Chains A and B, each alone.
Chain A
Amino acid sequence: MLEIMKQRAKELLESGRVVRVLGWQRGDFPNLREPVFFTTAKQLDNLEYDRFCAANLSKYLIGTDVPTLAFLKPCDTYSLNQLVKERQINRQMTYIIGIGCEGSAKLTDMEENGTLERCLVCTKTVHAAFDELIGEDAAPREKNDRFAGVGEIEAMEIAARYTFWQDHLARCIRCNACRNICPVCHCKKCVFDNTKYDTAQRANASAFEEQMFHIIRAYHVAGRCTDCGECNRACPQAIPLHLLNRKLISDINHMFGEYQAGTDTETPGPLTNFDIEMDKEVGL
Chain B
Amino acid sequence: MSRLLQVEHVSKIFGGLKAVEDVSMHVEEGELVALIGPNGAGKTTLFNALTGVSPATEGSVTFNGVSLDKKKPYQVAKMGIARTFQNIRLFHQLSVRENLQAAMTHRYKEDFVSSILRLPTFTKKEALVNGWTDEILAKLDLSDVGEMITANLPYGTQRRVEIARAVASDPKLIFLDEPAAGMNPEETADLTDLIRRLQSEFGLTVVLIEHDMSLVMNIAERIYVLEHGKLIAEGTPAEIQNNQAVITAYLGGGIHV
Asked if A pairs with B, the answer is no
B residues with CB within 8 A of A: none
